Amino acid sequence: AATATDVAAPDTEPAAEAPPAPVAANAVRIESEPERAEVFLGELSLGTAPVTLTWDGNGAAPRLRVVKPGHRQLKVTLRRADVGRTRVVTLEPL
């Protein structure tokens, strides 16, 4: 018969967070500080950060607006150097 000492204790170690997926060569990943700010391209909401925007660096540079209640909105123009990378946008509290 099994006793309490024979039963393995459940693993109490917190699971390690998986590293973020690599960014595609024709895209830019937008992250925000604080997390989950809403990202707009013009009037179109791209969702809450992190978001991935497809842009290969050609044509007009996308102009984004990043918004979170209680923080100053921030306007960001992407650069060719951002393609294939993650750009972190930091919002200042009001």
What is the pTM assigned to this prediction? 0.74
DSSP letter string over 59-82? SSPPEEEEE-TTB--EEEE--GGG
Q: Give the model's pLDDT for residue 19.
A: 59
Among 72, 71, 31, 74, which Cα is nearest to 53's?
31
pLDDT over threshold 70, residue 76: yes
> 17: pLDDT confidence band, cut at 50, 70 and 90?
low
37-73 confidence digits (pLDDT tens): 999 999 999 999 999 999 988 999 999 999 999 999 9
